[in-house]
Every structure is written in structure tokens, then in C-alpha cells.
Structure 1
Amino acid sequence: MKKIHFNLQATLEESQFEKTFQRLFVQGSIVDHDLGRRMARLENLFQVYRSTCPVPCWSRGLAVTNEIRRVTETYLDYSLIRQALVRIVKKSLAGHFDPPQVLFTVDGWLEFLEMKALWDQHVNPAALVANLAENQADRVRFLFGLYLPQQFGGSYGRYPSQLDFLERWLTSRSEQWHLPITCLDAACGSGEGSYELAGLLLKSGFDISQFRVTGATINPLEVFAAAYGYLPHDIPREHANRQYMRSFGALPMINFVTADLKSWEPTEKYHIILCNGILGGPFLHAHEEVESVIKRLVKGMHSGGILLAADRFHGGWKKMLSQQELEGLLTRSGLTVIPASEGVAGILK
């Protein structure tokens, strides 16, 4: 299968959502011989476990002790469960996707259940996989939970000082713009920062015909979520996203594309580039890779344009590059570093 590449305009129109939904997800029930064989093996393991373990871990309110964890992991081999989950993911998406990393970061079945809040629902891994194969709605929620886990999700108001700084910078250049202003939110995730940027441009006095905002992210599910405000695994956040999208009339000026920053070549020039929550973080921190990404982004900048990068890497403990190191990489890539209220900023002269 080929990887899916999206270029989607932000919209709340149901017809566009449904068209893209059918392109992205396998519809209806999933029937797969290999998956059935894996489910049968998991069912056998679970029945042996249930008949052997005198105090089942799935009892409501029961604390998971070290003994329960040890016995469970002895009988329920997580590597076999993970293979079945990887298979259901592969058969659920209409295109090639790398397996979600969350499946490989947990140490066992109980940890996975706890992390995904599946207690008292499908402690039997065979039952979980069978339900996902049969129930499309549950399957879609499960996929979003794997690829867009809540603990890594974005939110509005993450970088307020950066927005204040950018508003002042926009105002200071009000007589110098060659319209329309083109903006890129690199590594946009589920799109909150892209919508905030569009809102800031409106607040700064620009008409919707005077700017365009593009959000770019590697994961097609994130592109889908951003374009349509769709987060079925996190309904409160979905409501917040759609309420924000309805609050202004700039949706036609916002689009989202699938792009891997490590190899993506921008197809147009941008006046403003946001690169928040990625440079120097857990997913992109090797000096040579960060520098390569910055240089690619700089190639896509208009003269006089600005690149801004801030982070919220869990209070700093996952921050791999210091601000001084990032400023050095911006300078080496041809930008003039300027004082910023939050994170780093560089201007292309």
C-alpha cells in the first residue's frame, strides 16, 4: 500500500468529511484469516489465564499488585497481543501507516489497558481485537487513541507569549506587507496552533482574503483531525476545536497537508513559520536532523520572514536541545536571531 498524502481545506461541511473519511478508513467489518488465527491464539491464552489465576486482575476496584502484574504477563504474552493489534491497525487503514509507537512503548498488557483506559471493557485481548474487527466506530476511536494519544495532544493557548510577540511584530510591519501573507505551522499536530495563528491575523486587522495558513504534519490522521476538528477519542477536545473553528470565518484560508519535515520541500514561500513543539524535543533532537529541517524551512521563507519555535516538552525534562543551541542552528541556517517572548525567533534578511 502507498502512504496517504492529504491536502485538506479546513471545513465543517459533512460531505467533505465523509468523502475523506471513506478514503482513509476501511469501511464495515474486517474479515482477515491471519487476524482470526491470532485472535484464536489469544483466546486460548486468556482461557488458561482465567482458569489459573485465583485473583483475576480485571475485578472492579482491585489494585494491580506486583504479583498480579507478574502472573498476568506470564500468561498473556504482550508481544503476541501487540502483533494482533498491529495487524488490526494495518487492516483498518486504507493506505500504508507506520505502526503507532505507543504499542511499543508499554511493557505489558496491564500497562496498555491502564494507559488506554480499557479496564472492565476488554481485558481479554481476543475480545478487544474481535470487537475492533466488527465495530467500525469503536475501531476508529481506538485508532485515534493510538495515533493521537491524549497525553501528547495539543491545546489552545499553549504559547500565549509567542502570540503576543507575533502580534507586536505584525503591527510593526503593517506598512511593509506584500499581500497575501503566507503562513506555515510546521508539525501542526491536530491544528490548534494553525487556527490560533489565523485568529491572530484577523485580530491584527487582516482580512481573510489577505492571508493563508498551512498546517503540515507527518500523520494523515492528524491532518484529518485538524481539517475537520475530529477527535472521536476525546469528545470534550473535539467540541472545543469545532467551537473555535465556528468562531471565525477564515476556514477557507486554512489548509492542512501531510508532510515529513525531515524530507519535505515547501512548494511556496512563507512570511511566517511556526515550528512549535518539535525542534529539540523527543522526536527531533539530533543536531544534524534539526539543522537539516531548519535549512529546509528557511528555503521556504520570504526575505524578511520570521521563524518561531517554542516548546512544552513536559516542563523541560524531555527537552534535548537548549535555547542557546537552537539559536546557534538558526544563525548557521542564515537567520538573524531576535529576542522573543517565548522560545526562539529568527528573521531572514
Structure 2
Amino acid sequence: MSPHHTPLHPCFDPAETSNELSRLLVSGPIVDADLDRRIARLRERFRIYCGIYPFGMWDSGLVVTREMRALTDLLLPLAEILPAFSRLFRLTLRFPPLLEATPLTTACSWLDLLERLDVSAARGNPARLLEQLAGDGARRTSFVFSLFIPPPLRWRLRPLPGPDRLSEAMDKTAGHPGRGYLLRARCCLRLR
């Protein structure tokens, strides 16, 4: 068998899971002067944005208009936010990230991106979100997985109650093609 095609198998050992994750992601806080400069610039941009923006702050379910998009992109340009996220991912992932597979490259504005990301309204500030992600390896891991897993699949990838309940969960999904496979793959990582 080719070394690039290893069979998937559920693992329940936290040490083994941690070891496998460390092959993909850098754990612990990320300390980088370039990232810190980008975050500081975004913090200042967000301060100005909050002082001028007339529509109120983002919250889940907000209907974004063209005017909101245009003003947000003028005051808080996605063109400045994306390089900071790219830098964070280059420092986090042990392989070249394919950001084209994420909402980062398809959003029209920061507001559109927030709607696609799995973040709370309290993290509507890109500088604050980047600081939290850089400082907390567990949160960063969860964010990376939520970013690269398409939204329709996220609801299926909730943590299972435990290995003793795996067969019960598999039985419940037996009538739905593909769901059992997703649950099996889900056993290896705790995304939330």
C-alpha cells in the first residue's frame, strides 16, 4: 500500500489523537512579530470602523445589504484581513494550506465572512479573533477544522458520547448512506 493512502480507522486514545494532530498542526500559542503587527493594524482599523459605521455591529442572522458591504470593505478591508489569516495558517499548519477551499477567499466582505465562519458576535473584531486563535491552540484547532469542513457537514460532526456508545450511534445511522462513515471519521477528533 502506498504511504499516501493509509486506511482510516477510529482512534480512542487521546495520546494517539494528540500525536496525529501534532503532525498536522502546531499546538500551543503562536508567537510571531509579523502576525502581531498585522493584528495591531486590524485593531486600529476596527476601532475606526466602530466609530464611523452607522449600521450597528454584526450579529448572527444579520441581513447584509450592499451599503453595509461597501462601507465595511472601505473601513475594514477584507484585503487586509485575509493576509493576517493567511499568516496565521502558515504558522499553524504543517502543510501548505489550500485557502481557496475555505470561505476566506469567497466572501465579499468581512460581514459576509463572519456569517460563514463559526464565530460568535463577540468575535466580530478580526484582531480579537486572530489574537484568540493565536493564543489558544485548542480554539485554533477547532477553528481550522470548522473552516475546512463544509457547513452542511458540520452538524453531523458533533462529538460522540464515548467509545461505548459508538456502536449505538452507528446503528442509528445505518439507514443513511454516508453518515456512518462520517461518524467513524469523527471519532478520531473532537472538533468542538
TM-score by length of 2: 0.74
Cα deviation, residue 61, structure 1 = 7.7
**Residues 1:75 and 1:20: Cα distance change in structure 2 (over 3 Å):** same
Task: Report the Cα distance in structure 2 between the residues aligned to 1:30 and 1:125, rounded to whole angstroms.
Answer: 16
Tell me whether 1:45 sits opposite 2:45 in the alignment: yes
1:192 corresponds to? 181
Which one has more relative contact order, counting CA pairs under 8 Å at least 6 apart? 2
CA distances 1:138-194 after superposition (whole Å, capped 9, x unpaired) = 10110001111332569655538xxxxxxxxxxxxxxxxxxxxxxxxxxxxx98169
1:68 aligns with 2:27: no
Please identify the structure whose Cα radius of gyration is greater: 1
Which residue in the other structure is 1:33 paired with?
33
Aligned position for 1:121? 122
What CA distance in whole angstroms lies between the structure 2 residues aligned with 1:60 and 1:96?
31
Q: Which 5+ residue runs of structure 2 have no aligned equivalent?
A: 157-172
Output the CA distance in 2 between the equivalents of 1:34 and 1:41.
Answer: 11
One-letter code aligned to 2:128: A
Listed as ranges, the matches of 1:102-113 within 5 Å are 102=102, 103-113=104-114
Q: Contact (CA 8 Å) 2:69, 2:108: kept in 1 or not?
A: no
Deviations 1:99-150 (A, max 9, x none): 2522112211111111124241211111111110001111011000111133
1:293 aligns with none
Question: 4+ residue stretches of structure 1 with deviation over 3 A?
Answer: 4-9, 59-66, 152-160
- Alpha-carbon spacing, 1:125–1:25, altered in 2? closer, same or farther (3 Å): same
Extract unaligned runs of 5+ from structure 1.
161-189, 196-225, 234-349
- Opposite residue 90 of structure 2, the aligned amino acid is K
Q: Which has the higher strand share?
A: 1
Mapping 1:133-152, distance limit 5 Å: 133-152=134-153
Among residues 159, 173, 178, which one is paired with 2:177 in the alignment?
Answer: 159
Q: Aligned partners of 2:5, 2:144: CA distance in 1, in Å?
A: 18
8 Å contact from structure 1 (residues 28, 135) kept in 2:
yes
CA distance in 1, matches of 2:138, 2:66: 35
Q: Give 2:188's aligned residue.
A: 229
Give yes or no for contact 2:60–2:115 (8 Å, CA) kept in 1: no
Deviations 1:42-95 (A, max 9, x none): 112111111112332336886544433322122111121111111111111223
Deviations 1:252-271, CA, capped at 9 Å, x for gaps:
xxxxxxxxxxxxxxxxxxxx
Structure 1 residues 108 and 152: alpha-carbon distance in aligned structure 2, compared to 1, 3 A threshold: farther
The aligned residue for residue 57 of structure 2 is 57
Kindly provide the amino acid, as one letter, of the partner of residue 140 in structure 1.
Answer: T
Distance 1:80 1:9, change over 3 A: same
Matches within 5 A, 1:161-310: 192=181, 226=185, 228-233=187-192
| 1:93 aligned onto 2:102 | no
| Cα distance in structure 2, aligned partners of 1:19 and 1:110 | 36
CA 1:98/1:127 → structure 2, altered by over 3 Å: closer, same or farther? same
User: Which amino acid is 1:110 matched to?
Assistant: L
1:9-20 aligned within 5 A: 9-20=9-20
The CA deviation string for residues 280-329 of structure 1, in whole angstroms up to 9 with x for no partner, is: xxxxxxxxxxxxxxxxxxxxxxxxxxxxxxxxxxxxxxxxxxxxxxxxxx
- Cα offset for 1:30? 0.2
The 1:19/1:61 distance shift into structure 2, 3 A limit, reads: closer
> How many corresponding residue pairs?
171
CA offsets 1:13-56 (integer angstroms, 9 cap, x no match): 22321221222221210011221121122112111111112332
In structure 2, what is the Cα distance between the partners aligned to 1:63 and 1:194?
Answer: 33
Q: Contact 1:29/1:136 (CA < 8 Å) preserved in 2? A: yes
Q: How far, CA to CA, are the matches of 1:6 and 1:14 in structure 2?
A: 23
Q: Distance in 2 between matches of 1:122 and 1:194?
A: 29
**Which structure shows the higher helix fraction?**
2
Identical residues among aligned pairs (%): 31
